[in-house]
């Protein structure tokens, strides 16, 4: 029998994990009926305040209904006890999914993809973050990797213990910057893992006397932390459908149309995937984040990149070929990110237009005519409100709360310098 406590959690619009702890003795009942929650909690900003103008008041009741398949165990560590962590859907008191629930938003998008197009999505989130402490070592170096010990080894072991399937842990380019990747998984599982990964990294850093931040950028003059979203489409039987040896970029018709929807609605999509004012200090040309709204082979300035395939050992390209969306960061809710990409892709499938593929050899001059990304959160939010297709992806409750949170955060940082803005977001993430 489990002892101690469990934590039932959701990830809100500011990508903060919040919830309630329960004694282990109540776990069986909690799995059946959930724990209490309130709609107004969805309107908390990343800085911990209720957003002015949110659609919620003091009334209303919800349940956080845990998904048993999402459970992970954090083992005891010194004086810190172990705990079981569950991710939950937000429902009404009758168990019906609530329109404001970000996890249910992704589940509904995946259901639509399956029912209307006969497709499934697999995904993996590639996270970058910065770890404080002594770090004068060179980028990508063995010495930087060793300087982070025992944190790095402990992190990989913790992720393996939790079943998150870590794939790669490496020192990155920026000061104190590291990257952790997880293996591809079905879309809802991949998004759940992205939510959990951030919490496990920050929790372990605290227990090791260090501090980790996933802020999109810690210094306006330095590199940023992205969350690159890798995804592929599969048929209902699991067969890959994105590869066509004769197509531009080796993309099939369905893949090129799915990509076209993301590009067509990119300004509105950015409001969801890069939803913090500081996000736009990172999303500028020549930072290898995303320099323009285009699809390209193996180009790290592209909003959508066709990732390379490996031929070593006779590996075939069909199962490997996938797209990488490069304009997300950890101020974005992973469920909303994937759900929005799916909705945009579905719009592309319905429209029938194939995205143009720029070859790897394309020069900066060749790409000069491609649209730029929005230059600010204000611009992205306006694009979301102006785009009737994108606006319709989000239930009104979710859209109204999302806009309220984003505008409240903008109001809170109004007048700050770029450096002050970075410091504030570093503290929050």
Q: How many CA atoms lie within 13 A of 272 on its CB side?
A: 30
User: For position 291, what pLDDT does the model report?
Assistant: 86
Smallest CA-to-CA distance from 293 within 322, 340, 326 is with 326
Rounded Cα gap, residues 303 and 293, in angstroms: 5
What is the tens place of the pLDDT at every residue in 270-289?
A: 999 999 999 999 998 888 88
Residue 1 has pLDDT above 60, yes or no: no
Domain that holds residue 403: 105-428
What is the structure's pLDDT at 352? 85
If DSSP codes are grouped into helix, strand and coil, which group holds residue 156?
Answer: helix
Which sign does the torsion angle of CA 258, 264, 268, 271 carry?
positive
Is there a single domain that holds both residue 280 and residue 137?
Answer: yes
The pLDDT tens digits of the residues spanning 333-377 come to 999 999 999 999 999 999 989 999 999 999 999 999 999 999 999
**302 and 416 both lie in a single domain:** yes
| Domain of residue 174, CATH code | 3.30.590.10
The whole-number average pLDDT for the span 9-27 is: 96
Last residue of a domain, one of 98, 114, 149: 98
Kindly state whether residues 201 and 313 are assigned to the same domain.
Answer: yes
Contacting residues for 230 by C-beta, under 8 A, at least 6 apart: 123, 124, 125, 126, 184, 307, 322, 323, 324, 325
Residue 325, strand partner residues: 229, 304
Confidence (pLDDT) at 2: 59
Per-residue confidence (pLDDT) for residue 3, from 0 to 100:
66
Q: Which of 98, 118, 146 is the last residue of a domain?
A: 98
Tokens describing residue 66: 């845990």
Res 391 pLDDT > 90: yes
Question: Which long-range contacts (C-beta less than 8 Å, at least 24 apart) are formed by 170-174?
Answer: 170/140, 170/145, 171/137, 171/139, 171/140, 171/141, 171/144, 171/145, 172/128, 172/139, 172/140, 173/139, 173/140, 173/223, 174/128, 174/130, 174/139, 174/218, 174/222, 174/223, 174/224, 174/225
Given a contact cutoff of 8 angstroms between Cβ atoms, the answer to whether 190 and 122 are in contact is yes
Q: How far is CA 232 from CA 270, 286, 302, 357, 405, in A?
A: 20, 27, 17, 17, 31
Q: Give per-residue pLDDT as tens, 294-342.
A: 999 989 999 999 999 998 988 889 999 999 999 999 999 999 999 999 9
Q: Phi then psi for 406, rounded to 5 degrees?
A: -65, -40
Average pLDDT over residues 380-398: 97
Nearest to 70 by CA among 346, 335, 280, 395: 335
Alpha carbon distance 268, 287 (integer Å): 22
Token pair 């776990």 in the structure block, residue:
27
Same domain, 292 and 385: yes
Q: 64: domain CATH number?
A: 3.10.20.70
Residues 277 and 301 in one domain: yes
The pLDDT of residue 133 is 78
Residues 150-173 have pLDDT tens digits of 999 999 999 999 999 999 999 999
> Same domain, yes or no, for 277 and 355?
yes
State which of 58, 83, 98 marks the end of a domain. Answer: 98
Q: Identify whether residues 239 and 296 lie together within a single domain.
A: yes
**pLDDT tens column, 97-145:** 999 999 999 999 999 999 999 999 999 999 999 999 766 788 999 999 9
Average pLDDT over the chain reads 95
Query: What is the biggest distance separating any 2 CA atoms in the chain, rounded to whole angstroms?
Result: 65
- Residues 333, 201, single domain; the answer is yes
Residues 6+ apart with CB under 8 A from 236: 114, 118, 119, 120
Do 82 and 146 belong together in one domain? Answer: no
- Tell me: do 420 and 276 sit in the same domain: yes
CA dist., res. 64 & res. 92, Å (int)? 9
pLDDT tier at 200 (50, 70, 90 boundaries)?
Answer: very high
pLDDT value at residue 317:
92
| pLDDT reported for residue 147 | 92
User: 354 and 249 in contact (C-beta within 8 Å)?
Assistant: no
Overall pTM > 0.85: yes
What percent of the chain is predicted at pLDDT more than 70?
Answer: 99
Kindly tell me if the per-residue pLDDT of 96 is higher than 90. Answer: yes
d(CA 279, CA 332): 10
- The number of domains in the chain is 2
Residue 176 pLDDT exceeds 80: yes
Burial group, residue 365, by CB count within 10 angstroms (0-12, 13-18, 19+): exposed
Q: What is the C-alpha to C-alpha distance for residues 69 and 194, in angstroms, rounded to an integer?
A: 15
Q: Which pLDDT score, from 0 to 100, does residue 136 have?
A: 76
User: Are both 51 and 114 inside the same structural domain?
Assistant: no
- Specify whether the CB–CB gap between 411 and 403 falls below 8 A: no
Q: Which of residues 1 and 158 earns the better pLDDT score?
A: 158
Residues 33 and 111 in one domain: no
């Amino acid at each position: 029998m489990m002892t101690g406590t469990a934590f039932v959690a959701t990830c809100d619009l500011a990508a903060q994990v919040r919830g309630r702890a329960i004694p282990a003795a109540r776990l069986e009942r909690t799995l059946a009926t959930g724990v209490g929650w309130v709609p107004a909690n969805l309107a908390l900003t990343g800085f911990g305040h209720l957003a002015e103008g949110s659609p919620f008041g003091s009334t209303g009741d919800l349940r956080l209904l845990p998904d048993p398949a999402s459970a992970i165990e954090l083992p005891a560590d010194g004086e810190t006890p172990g705990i079981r962590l569950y991710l939950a859907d937000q429902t009404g008191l009758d168990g019906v999914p609530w329109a404001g629930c970000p996890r249910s938003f992704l589940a509904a998008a995946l259901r639509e993809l399956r029912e209307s197009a006969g497709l499934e999505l697999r995904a993996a989130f590639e996270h970058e973050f910065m770890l404080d402490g002594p770090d004068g070592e060179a980028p990508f170096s063995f010495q930087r990797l060793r300087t982070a010990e025992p944190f790095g080894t402990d992190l990989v072991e913790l992720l393996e213990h939790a079943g998150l399937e870590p794939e790669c842990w490496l020192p990155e380019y920026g000061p104190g910057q590291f990257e952790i990747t997880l293996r591809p998984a079905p879309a809802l599982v991949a998004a759940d893992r992205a939510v959990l990964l951030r919490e496990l990294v920050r929790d372990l850093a605290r227990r090791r006397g260090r501090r980790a931040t996933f802020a999109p950028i810690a210094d306006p003059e330095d590199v940023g932390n992205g969350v690159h979203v890798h995804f592929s489409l599969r048929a209902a039987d699991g067969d890959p459908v994105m590869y066509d040896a004769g197509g531009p970029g080796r993309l099939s018709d369905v893949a090129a149309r799915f990509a076209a929807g993301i590009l067509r609605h990119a300004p509105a999509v950015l409001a969801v995937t890069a939803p913090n004012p500081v996000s736009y200090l990172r999303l500028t040309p020549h930072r290898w984040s995303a320099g323009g709204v285009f699809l390209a082979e193996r180009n790290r300035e592209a909003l959508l990149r066709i990732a390379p395939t490996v031929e070593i050992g006779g590996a075939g390209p069909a199962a490997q070929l996938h797209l990488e969306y490069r304009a997300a960061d950890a101020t974005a809710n992973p469920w909303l990110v994937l759900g929005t990409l799916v909705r945009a892709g579905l719009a592309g499938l319905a429209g029938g237009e194939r995205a143009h593929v720029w070859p790897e050899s394309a020069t900066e001059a060749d790409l000069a005519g491609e649209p730029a990304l929005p230059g600010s959160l204000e611009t992205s939010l306006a694009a979301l409100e102006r785009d009737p297709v994108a606006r319709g992806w989000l239930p009104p409750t979710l859209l109204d709360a999302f806009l309220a949170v984003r505008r409240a955060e903008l109001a809170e940082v109004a007048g700050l310098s770029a450096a002050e803005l970075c410091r504030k977001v570093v503290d929050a993430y």
